[in-house]
Amino acid sequence: MVKALALVLVALCAAGAGALLRADPFSGVAQLILQRVFSPGTRVAAGADQSIYLLDPAARRIARYERGGRLLVAFASDPAIGRLVDFALDEPRGRVLAADAAYEQLAWFPPLGRQATILPLRAGAREMPPAPGAIAVGARGTIYVSDARCACVAVVNPDGTVAGTRGHGELAQPGRLAVDAWERVFVLDRGARALKLLEGLRVTAQWTYAALGLVDAADLAIAADWLHLADPLGGRVRLMRVLPPPKPAADAPRE
């Protein structure tokens, strides 16, 4: 439930609580981690070891804390970085990926907090570089970026080359992203006020915020087989079970 705990932190930060809490959405038990004022757009995630990563947009930096709140490392800021708006943990490859909306690029930080490496977004054979908003990383290292310019989700190779786009004409204002174990992409569509599921190139399912019992949806994450949706205005975290895709029908027996 590691990432699920982080969602509660995001909801509290967005509500202006001035506190970072570790909370179990099943039991409702919460533990104070940090007491401070968070700048708008603060982003939080938790690693496999339950250490906490916090993006402070005003300071243009990402910091890592132990699960009890002690600062472990502050990832160095860089003059080549303009405005960080989101980040994703790519733990299998030992890096933290961040989206820079000002310079329309990605940056990655090594675990020990040394200076960031800029990862320019390069156009593919038929694709334009995206204007990055939210970012997520799949199990195989594929990077997914919500692109406000095309109202789509860009699929980016680990080297920064754009491999393609998804959801054209089906997303109004794509926001936060989460990727499941089958590389399906869940998208918070702020324009449509709906959660949408991308499988391959198209949207295959969608749920309005109202149908989910949400006032708003500010963030989402997947932990194991649960999707967690943070509703800061409603003061809740909604859980949805993530089921594997249906198996293809077996071929009919031949005569």
Buried b (16+ CB within 10 A) or exposed e, 139-159: eeebbbbbbeebbbbbbbebe
Asked if 99 and 145 count as a contact pair (C-beta separation under 8 A), the reply is yes
pLDDT level of residue 1 (50, 70, 90 thresholds)? very low
Enter the pTM of the model. 0.86
Q: Which of 48, 71, 178, 17 is nearest to 62 (CA)?
A: 71
**pLDDT averaged over every residue in the chain:** 83
Give the number of other CB atoms < 10 A from CB of residue 228: 24
Q: What is the pLDDT of residue 216?
A: 94
pLDDT in tens, 114-132: 778 898 888 866 667 788 9
What is the per-residue pLDDT across 227-239, written as a single tens digit (0 to 9) for each?
Answer: 989 888 887 888 8
Percent pLDDT > 70 in the chain is: 83
Lowest-confidence segment of 21-25, 45-49, 63-67, 242-246 by average pLDDT: 21-25
Name, of 71-80, 132-141, 182-191, 214-223, the range with top average pLDDT: 182-191
CB 201 within 8 A of CB 155: no
Q: How far is CA 47 from the centre of its chain?
A: 13
pLDDT digits (tens, 9 = 90+) for 47-76: 888 888 888 888 778 989 888 889 999 886
Of 168, 155, 167, 85, the residue nearest 121 (C-alpha): 155
Instruction: Indicate whether 244 belongs to any domain.
Output: no
Domains in the chain, number: 1
Is the residue at 164 inside a domain? yes
* Domain of 151, in residue numbers: 79-208
Quick check: 201 pLDDT over 60? yes
What pLDDT score was predicted for residue 250? 60
Whether 233 is covered by a domain: the verdict is no
Query: Could you tell me the CATH number of the domain that includes residue 181?
Result: 2.120.10.30
Contact call for residues 210 and 194 (beta carbons, < 8 A): no
How does residue 3 score in pLDDT terms, banded at 50, 70 and 90?
A: very low
The verdict on residue 45 lying in a domain is no
